[in-house]
Structure 1
Amino acid sequence: MRLVTAIILLVLAVSCAKNEAGNGLQHPNLILTAQGVSLMRSSLGKVPLFDQSVEEAKQAVQSEMELGIEVPIPKDLAGGYTHERHKANYFAMQKAGVLFQITGEEKYAIYIRDMLLAYAEMWPTIGKHPAERSYARGKLFWQCLNDANWLVYTSQAYDCIYDWLDEETRIKLNKELFRPYAEYVSVENPQFFNRIHNHSTWGNAAVGMIGLVMNDEELVDWALYGLDLEVPGDFVKDNDGGAIQLEGQKEAGFLAQIDHSFSPDGYYTEGPYYQRYAMYPFLIFAQALANKKPELGILNYRNGLLTKAVYALINQTNAQGEFFPINDAQKGMSLASRELVNAVSMAYHYGGQDAGLLSIIKSQGRVPLNDSGLDAAKGVADQEVVKFPYKSIELRDGADGTEGAIGILRSKSLTLVMKYAKHGMGHGHFDRLGFLLYDEKGEVIQDYGSARWVNIEHKDGGGYLKENHSWAKETIAHNTLVVNKDSHFDGKVDEAEKSSGVPYFFSATPSVHVVSAKEPKAYKDVELQRTMAVVDIAELEHPLVIDLFSAQAPVGTRFDLPLYYKGEFMASNQQFSANNNLAPMGEESGYQHLWAESQAKLKNDLLQITWFNNQRFYTATSVIEDGDEAILTRIGANDPNFNLRRDPGLIHRRKSGNTLFASVYEIHGSYDYATERPLNLFSSISHLTVLHQSADYAAIELTLESGATYQFTFSLNDDSKASNHSISTSKGKIEWSGVYQFIKTEK
């Protein structure tokens, strides 16, 4: 790697020598350019969304300027005064820098200069942050990650006033603030800087961007290719249990981040919440490199992977634009975030001006104050805004796309997500083959997300709560199968990281969307496979979800299949017995946080429950076997500080060997509060039967109240579209070609 680096650096050195008179010294040249600034100035008053964004920035900066310069001695965690003050400072400086360039008003430059000089005075006087919670303690903030955030934003401000500053001030800031700062988050903390992780992406971008501003090639080299340093042996894990160094990792730096963090489809292995967070340094540093080092062709790297990553993120949202809360994720994070405001405009500007992005940009209501933001705002003003074309898609995981995936099925207003990707490093959850379900109103069957209140000081300083490990990451907290009350991989991150889910089949036609995946290693001697289909049946109000969860396991295995429905329990066809004296359902693996509110010994052939949410009814119908039980649960046991939401759930419990859990999920009816009138509040499913279950096939039959009958048959091990299949059932022989068949058998 170092030989390749040396060759590249030689090329860069020659290029820099050629450009020193222009590109190397003229500022701004990081995110803004002289040409871009000229165009922005001439466009003022002509592009409404851009004008609105400029005015919002002016108001925000004016409010900060009226407060004066405040650089308090660091002492607080996230959400605390000093943390939030330094955070507000870097946001204000970045905006002020852009406003100085656009308006020419010197007050913005003076504000940045005075702020930076205050930091330059303070920096040599402070040591590591007093909070000792991070594997890489920062100085301004409790962790180096936030220090890197500060430098990413502040380097943009510095670039905007660099030529305005006198030489003495530039030298002072370079030597006394920025170079020592860059060294602190890199060579003084290699366990932070040399990882493949969203933390290190911020670190790489921070050091690289300030290096570009100061024309410090050594810093840029560190940023692009990592440090030629060994991570100290006492740094093995981060605070989330993730490995500092990945198995077999030989590279570090920004290019290695792109190589190893993303799949060819743009999926980010830590999940969409952290992909959103990492996209800002990925894209803003890429934009800086495109401006200052165009010879790198960074925006075309890996076939334009960074632009693909923006599309991958957009595809991982529900109808409200909120990201699927896979792995550690705070619910509600959405396309409205500042990172995506920058990302979507960049994807539009550098990705061929895709008109499908304009509806998202318009809904965001603001654009970044740079070339891409102006271009995006012009697109909104000048073009017909069309809706982004969401569709069913499988996003592969792993650097080469061979380490699992997530499957997203979309049909009309319904969206289903199934996860069979890699674990997700320290932010991963033990949720192989778990799923989430949405309609256009929001969550139908939910994932808990993370146990964290970001930046809320009341809740342990805004960091991850202990319940994130004891509950949110555990398998029982997800809509997937739990074997013998133990989490997947025994709850061990190192074991989970060794393998991924196995994609088996993915298909999307206008009326039938299917995803199937396997998990052979989560439990010893147990093989799991889940097949989910979204089918459009004309006589139903909404598409219907079919769920076939197959397990090959030793006789006597205990299975728990949770369903975390969103809303209020309405009714069931089973007789539940309420518990007057509540007790936790177990002592570990997340069960210690579940109350068993009620239970039922299941009778007859079906388990049905109906719940209500967002003025709509939902019903889950499941086939039962002799001895099955159902438990109505409530999150919140062993939670003295009330850190967990008190959400309801249903656990379908079975003791068996090889088995098949067969269910369908139906959206139906409505209730109008103003008229107090319910419509279609009962399920349309009158019967559901397993026609065949084996290691090779699964087949079900569902009957509607109208008498219409449908069959879904699926080949579990032969995914050839050309294969012919035949199975014997109680309804006779069923034959079909291809992996699956969904047919109507009776009117």
Structure 2
Amino acid sequence: MNYVNDRFCELVQLPRNRQAILAMKKDVDDFLPSFCDSPAKLSRWGHHYFCDDDGGRLIFDLNSPHSHRCEICGKVYSNDVQDGVWVTFYRNRAVVLALVSAAVYKATGETKYRDYALQVIDFYAAHYHEFVLHNKENKIFDSYETMKWGCGKMMPQGLNEAIVAIRFIQTIEILRPELEQEWLENVHRKLFREMFRLLAPQAVEIHNISCWSLAAIGVMGLAMKDQEMIDYAFTSPFNIRRQLAEGVTADGFWYEGSIHYNFFLLEGVSYLFLFSKIYGYDFGQESTAIFERMFEKAYEYAFDNLYLPNPNDGWPNLNLRTFSYVYHTAARAFGEKSKVGNLLKIIENDPNPRTTLPLSEPYYCCGTVCLEQLLFNIDFDYSDYRPVAHVSNTFPTSNFAMLRNNNWNVFVKYGLNGKSHAHPDIMNIEVMYKDQRISRDLSNAGYQSRLCNEWHRKTLSHNTVCWNGQDITSVHPGKCLRFDADSFSGLALDVYEGIDYQRNLHITEDSLVDEFLVQGKSGVYDYVFHLESQLQLECEMPLEDASLGFSENGYQHVEETKKVLVLGDKAVLWAVFGELRMKIELQLENGQELFLLKTKDNPVNQTRRSILVRARGEKVRYSMQLTV
């Protein structure tokens, strides 16, 4: 099996593919002829490249290495940190476009594109020993023996270095028939052996970053016929087979509980899986089964419109098309007629536009066609696929469940498998009515953004219950008490120490009924439900200005608080968007108070309407029904 599809040179001449190659040529021609880098430039962590005011990503402008403008509010940042991130983005673009340039050469035979690609690899191989060994906190080390975990050289951390290593190997694999053995041995010695020394000490726990380090080591080893690297990837103490066996739940989901990190991990492993196929190495029967199941389960926990739930760390508004490039890589290895190949075709036929990633974004020609589709699966018949029905499902070892019928999708997260990348939002729900998102998880902006840590990672920004204005403390699994096609009941113990949560959900064709039970300690309990920013909230009951009394843990970012003056124990609100008119009925028991809030979205220049029901005591019951 070859890396590039055997029919690539033939089918790339079709008109639709020629247009893609022309666009790729322009991207390369606009950058690589003037490529210039220096080991003296220190790279910085990409998560710094976000606006503190609204969480918007800063614009990477090739012509502006010292001035960085927010894509939302226009605020300009000028300091060493953002300058260092610009260096990271510049190098990443150079490495990605070297890969693109190799593909253009393969398609056109124009030797300048081969030379561009080799120029980039030659530079980094020749100067790799000169790059400063440092981590994302900008601490500098003098050797691999003294460095702390997480270091990079070209890039700000080992994770990014692993990505770069794989990109270089991909480029070489496209150009391999053109490359002399002496050149390959030189790059192997100067670049890949040094990357191995950097990455091997960083694969020391069950973690997504370890998987990337092992994937890079294995890909380099297979492509360069370096048995030490191959053995390290597959037989070292925290080898890739152990990562999959211990890090993936029985439900086929990466244990850290993030959709983004689940796919991010799949991306790295997919390269190693593909290179194992190319070079005839046994990936392992159990590992292969786990890897394949992860792709199948991802389709099962997607909403019907193929948008994805967003528990824990990650990026907002992701859909399966966001990760079509990962499915393309896996489908190259599994084959067009495989389950993964069939799911890829369903994704490629999805009418919704692809949503993008703010960091580690792969290459999509004109924003729509990924490079992997052209290189790997250019001969697929995308009209020939088998529909796969979505049904209600539970994922008990991942603490997730999804209820579905013809109208509703309700995703619930009722526990955690540890603190890594966790958000304090146990018993959070996301709600979809047909193609209309009613309430989604915000995920977060970049980790160094002030609002990521002051709002997106706070209990209050999620659809759950806050106690005494504090963030949920548990990072432990919950329990599914009952599940069927239209009902779910989940229990989480010690969500706060000594406080237990139970949430019961039921859907009909017209309604969603939510019952939330809390018991344990006396205090102030705030049940929160956020509506998407496009939904207007109508209230016919009197309102008065109010204060929630808390000023930390996200409460300081509530923009407006109105108390609803409710007569009796029942309140009715309306959520309205276009022709959608949704009745929200709240049963208020034992003196519960109803508040309407304006809260921040992601990005935070958008505003959501939020419902908060406050109760006091040590045993509380909330009840809400949505009816269309």
TM-score (norm 1): 0.69
> Is the 1:480–1:562 contact (alpha carbons within 8 Å) kept by the matching residues of 2?
yes
Question: How does 1:397-412 map onto structure 2 within 5 Å?
Answer: 397=397, 404-412=398-406
Q: Please give the secondary structure, in 2, of the residue aligned with 1:656.
A: strand
> Is the 1:423–1:430 contact (alpha carbons within 8 Å) kept by the matching residues of 2?
no
1:478 aligns with 2:465: no
Cα distance, 1:222 vs structure 2: 2.0
> Is the 1:609–1:620 contact (alpha carbons within 8 Å) kept by the matching residues of 2?
yes
Match among 596, 603, 609 for residue 632 of structure 1:
596
1:9-47 per-position Cα deviation (integer Å, ceiling 9, x unaligned): xxxxxxxxxxxxxxxxxxxx7xx34xx64333344456x
Distance 1:354 1:177, change over 3 A: closer
> Is the 1:548–1:662 contact (alpha carbons within 8 Å) kept by the matching residues of 2?
yes
Amino acid at match of 1:273: H
- In the alignment, the residues of structure 1 paired with residue 444 and residue 605 of structure 2 have an alpha-carbon distance, to the nearest angstrom, of 10
- In the alignment, the residues of structure 2 paired with residue 122 and residue 643 of structure 1 have an alpha-carbon distance, to the nearest angstrom, of 42
Q: Please give the secondary structure, in 2, of the residue aligned with 1:390.
A: coil
| Corresponding position of 2:484 | 507
Q: Please give the secondary structure, in 2, of the residue aligned with 1:38.
A: coil
Unpaired stretches in structure 1, ≥5 consecutive residues: 1-28, 227-250, 398-403, 453-462, 490-495, 537-542, 668-747
Match among 266, 275, 279 for residue 266 of structure 2:
279
Distance 1:356 1:174, change over 3 A: closer
| Corresponding position of 2:95 | 90
| Corresponding position of 1:553 | 520
Distance 1:56 1:666, change over 3 A: farther
Match among 232, 235, 255 for residue 241 of structure 2:
255
- In the alignment, the residues of structure 2 paired with residue 523 and residue 186 of structure 1 have an alpha-carbon distance, to the nearest angstrom, of 39
- In the alignment, the residues of structure 2 paired with residue 307 and residue 372 of structure 1 have an alpha-carbon distance, to the nearest angstrom, of 21
Cα distance, 1:611 vs structure 2: 2.2
Cα distance, 1:55 vs structure 2: 5.5
Cα distance, 1:277 vs structure 2: 1.7
> Is the 2:520–2:618 contact (alpha carbons within 8 Å) kept by the matching residues of 1?
yes
- In the alignment, the residues of structure 2 paired with residue 356 and residue 446 of structure 1 have an alpha-carbon distance, to the nearest angstrom, of 24
- In the alignment, the residues of structure 2 paired with residue 545 and residue 285 of structure 1 have an alpha-carbon distance, to the nearest angstrom, of 43
> Is the 2:43–2:154 contact (alpha carbons within 8 Å) kept by the matching residues of 1?
no
| Corresponding position of 2:582 | 618
> Is the 1:345–1:372 contact (alpha carbons within 8 Å) kept by the matching residues of 2?
no
1:161 aligns with 2:175: yes
> Is the 1:578–1:597 contact (alpha carbons within 8 Å) kept by the matching residues of 2?
yes
Cα distance, 1:424 vs structure 2: 5.4
1:586 aligns with 2:547: no
1:299-329 per-position Cα deviation (integer Å, ceiling 9, x unaligned): x434622122112223343355332121112
| Corresponding position of 2:412 | 418
> Is the 2:445–2:451 contact (alpha carbons within 8 Å) kept by the matching residues of 1?
yes
Question: How does 1:120-139 map onto structure 2 within 5 Å?
Answer: 120-129=125-134, 132=137, 136-139=150-153
Cα distance, 1:369 vs structure 2: 4.2
Question: How does 1:92-241 map onto structure 2 within 5 Å?
Answer: 92-101=97-106, 103-129=108-134, 132=137, 136-187=150-201, 190=202, 193-226=203-236
| Corresponding position of 1:265 | 251
Cα distance, 1:573 vs structure 2: 4.9
| Corresponding position of 1:710 | none
| Corresponding position of 2:381 | 379
- In the alignment, the residues of structure 2 paired with residue 420 and residue 531 of structure 1 have an alpha-carbon distance, to the nearest angstrom, of 11
Distance 1:486 1:130, change over 3 A: closer
| Corresponding position of 2:72 | none
Cα distance, 1:613 vs structure 2: 2.9
1:519 aligns with 2:496: no
- In the alignment, the residues of structure 2 paired with residue 267 and residue 172 of structure 1 have an alpha-carbon distance, to the nearest angstrom, of 40
- In the alignment, the residues of structure 2 paired with residue 434 and residue 163 of structure 1 have an alpha-carbon distance, to the nearest angstrom, of 53
Q: Please give the secondary structure, in 2, of the residue aligned with 1:378.
A: coil
- In the alignment, the residues of structure 1 paired with residue 501 and residue 191 of structure 2 have an alpha-carbon distance, to the nearest angstrom, of 55
**Bigger shift: 283-292 or 93-102?**
93-102
- In the alignment, the residues of structure 2 paired with residue 663 and residue 110 of structure 1 have an alpha-carbon distance, to the nearest angstrom, of 64
Question: How does 1:274-423 map onto structure 2 within 5 Å?
Answer: 274-297=261-284, 300-302=285-287, 304-337=289-322, 339-340=325-326, 342=328, 345-346=331-332, 349=336, 351-352=338-339, 355=342, 357-363=344-350, 366=369, 368-369=371-372, 373-374=376-377, 377-380=379-382, 383=384, 387-397=387-397, 404-423=398-417
- In the alignment, the residues of structure 1 paired with residue 260 and residue 550 of structure 2 have an alpha-carbon distance, to the nearest angstrom, of 30
1:156-176 per-position Cα deviation (integer Å, ceiling 9, x unaligned): 112333453233322321111
Cα distance, 1:99 vs structure 2: 4.3
Distance 1:570 1:171, change over 3 A: closer
1:488 aligns with 2:489: no
> Is the 2:426–2:464 contact (alpha carbons within 8 Å) kept by the matching residues of 1?
yes
Cα distance, 1:260 vs structure 2: 2.2
> Is the 1:279–1:343 contact (alpha carbons within 8 Å) kept by the matching residues of 2?
no
Amino acid at match of 1:360: I
Cα distance, 1:278 vs structure 2: 1.8
1:390-418 per-position Cα deviation (integer Å, ceiling 9, x unaligned): 22222243xxxxxx521111222421100
Distance 1:142 1:613, change over 3 A: farther
| Corresponding position of 2:67 | none
- In the alignment, the residues of structure 2 paired with residue 73 and residue 442 of structure 1 have an alpha-carbon distance, to the nearest angstrom, of 50
Amino acid at match of 1:551: V
What percentage of aligned pairs have identical amino acids?
Answer: 16
Amino acid at match of 2:478: G
- In the alignment, the residues of structure 2 paired with residue 314 and residue 353 of structure 1 have an alpha-carbon distance, to the nearest angstrom, of 10
> Is the 2:423–2:458 contact (alpha carbons within 8 Å) kept by the matching residues of 1?
yes
Distance 1:149 1:615, change over 3 A: farther
The RMSD of aligned alpha carbons is: 3.1
- In the alignment, the residues of structure 2 paired with residue 49 and residue 634 of structure 1 have an alpha-carbon distance, to the nearest angstrom, of 47
> Is the 2:5–2:377 contact (alpha carbons within 8 Å) kept by the matching residues of 1?
no
1:691-724 per-position Cα deviation (integer Å, ceiling 9, x unaligned): xxxxxxxxxxxxxxxxxxxxxxxxxxxxxxxxxx
Distance 1:484 1:224, change over 3 A: same
Amino acid at match of 2:392: S
Cα distance, 1:119 vs structure 2: 0.9
Cα distance, 1:568 vs structure 2: 4.6
Cα distance, 1:373 vs structure 2: 3.7
Cα distance, 1:131 vs structure 2: 5.7
1:571 aligns with 2:544: no
Cα distance, 1:504 vs structure 2: 1.5
Say how many residue pairs are matched.
Answer: 561
Distance 1:117 1:570, change over 3 A: closer
> Is the 1:484–1:557 contact (alpha carbons within 8 Å) kept by the matching residues of 2?
yes
| Corresponding position of 1:649 | 610
Amino acid at match of 2:309: F
TM-score (norm 2): 0.81
Amino acid at match of 2:310: P
Higher RCO structure (Cα 8 Å, ≥6 apart): 2
Q: Please give the secondary structure, in 2, of the residue aligned with 1:275.
A: helix
